[in-house]
Amino acid sequence: MNIVVCVKQIPDPAEPGSLDPGTKTLKRATKLILDESDSYGVEMALQLADAAGGGEVTLVSMAPNNEVSGLRTALAMGAAKAILISDPALAGSDALGTAKVLAAAIKRVEGADLILTATESSDGYTGTVPEQLAELLDLPSVTFAKHIEVSDGVVKVQRQTEAGYDDVECPLPAVVSVTAGVVEPRYPSFKGIMAAKSKPVDQLTIADLGIDPSQVGWAGAGQEIVSVEQAPARESGEIFEDDGTGAEKIVAFLENLKVI
């Protein structure tokens, strides 16, 4: 079974990030790493390919520069190859622009039975790319998978809900977004790390994908960041001195919030 995993390379969340005042977006000139939320999709794909008795896991990623270090991490985990769409014109892409580029790249992967994504990236948090991708590829979309099995051309998903989960089945190929609970990602093994550097990373421009620059980046974005503000300072809480009525006051406070 051949599986495509969409992965994003993001600035290391452990390093203090900062915003570019010009573009009002996160500065990405630092070294980029594999978004941890994508490591679950990579692990799930590797396990599903294993369970199916073979097949390739292909990574698809886009970046305004030609950063590959995050992809190498996923290749070290065991993915077979990667497609990186790297083009200065991609800077400023919104979610739909991103989905258009990823969809065009996924179409180049022959025989993709399943496309996995995270539910959202850890730096942008739009959370809409998986559904847009499914629409652009004209494939069914299942979101928030906490468990995935594949048999006889059907993907069976436990879809996380607020109350529990739904059992969902859909025919392959399909786009499935996975939560952080779906599997425990493996550590890249040393053999994997050493093999990763010789695995193919196909670097493409948007011209290679036949995409017009006006469709992506700042030019194609259907949204504009008008201003960026400091988060409001948290208001200090209410302090009750216990004069014997403390419990009642707390109950009244919680009732007011409608939490009890």
Partner 1 sequence: MSDKEPQPFGTGDPYDFLGIDTLLDDEERMLRDTVRQFVRDRILPEIADWFDQGYFPVDLAKEMGALGLLGMHLKGYGCAGTNAVSYGLACLELEAGDSGARSFVSVQGSLAMFPIWKFGSEEQKQEWLPRMATGEVIGCFGLTEPDSGSDPASMRTRARRDGSDWILNGTKMWITNGSVADVAIIWARTDPDDNDGGSYAGFIVPTDTKGFTANDIPKKLSLRASITSELVLDDVRLPDSLRLPGVNSMRGPLSCLNEARYGILWGAAGAARSCYEAALDYSKERVQFERPIASFQLTQRKLVEMMVRVNKSILLALHLGRRKDRGQLTSAQVSFGKMDNVREALWVAREARSVLGANGITLEYPVIRHMNNLESVYTYEGTNEVHTLVLGQAITGLNAFR
Residue 70: CB minimum distance to partner 1, A = 11
Residue 103: HSE in the Cβ half-sphere, 13 Å Cα cutoff: 21
Distance from C-alpha of 167 to C-alpha of 182, rounded to nearest angstrom: 14
CB-wise, 198 or 214, nearer to partner 1?
198
CB-wise, 108 or 186, nearer to partner 1?
186
Residue 163: CB minimum distance to partner 1, A = 31
Task: Indicate the SS3 state at residue 135.
Answer: helix
Say if residues 209 and 105 touch (Cβ distance below 8 Å).
yes
Kindly provide the residue ranges of all beta strands, DSSP E only, lying in 135-211, ordered along the sequence: 141-151, 154-160, 165-171, 174-178, 201-204
CB-wise, 30 or 205, nearer to partner 1?
30
CB-wise, 63 or 196, nearer to partner 1?
196
CB-wise, 189 or 223, nearer to partner 1?
189
CB-wise, 68 or 155, nearer to partner 1?
68
Residue 214: CB minimum distance to partner 1, A = 31
Contact residues: partner 1, CB under 8 A:
29-30, 69, 72-73, 76, 186-191, 193-194, 196-197
Residue 96 is encoded by which pair of tokens?
Answer: 């739909």
CB-wise, 172 or 193, nearer to partner 1?
193
Residue 181: CB minimum distance to partner 1, A = 17
Distance from C-alpha of 5 to C-alpha of 135, rounded to nearest angstrom: 17
Residue 123: CB minimum distance to partner 1, A = 18
Residue 191: CB minimum distance to partner 1, A = 5
Distance from C-alpha of 130 to C-alpha of 117, rounded to nearest angstrom: 6
Residue 215: CB minimum distance to partner 1, A = 32
CB-wise, 79 or 142, nearer to partner 1?
79
Residue 257: CB minimum distance to partner 1, A = 34
Residue 103 is encoded by which pair of tokens?
Answer: 């969809």
Distance from C-alpha of 32 to C-alpha of 102, rounded to nearest angstrom: 19
Backbone angles phi, psi at 185, to 5 degrees: -65, 140
36: nearest Cα among 112, 119, 114: 119
- Sequence-distant (≥ 6) Cβ neighbours of residue 6 within 8 angstroms: 38, 41, 59, 60, 61, 102, 106, 115, 116, 117, 118, 129, 133
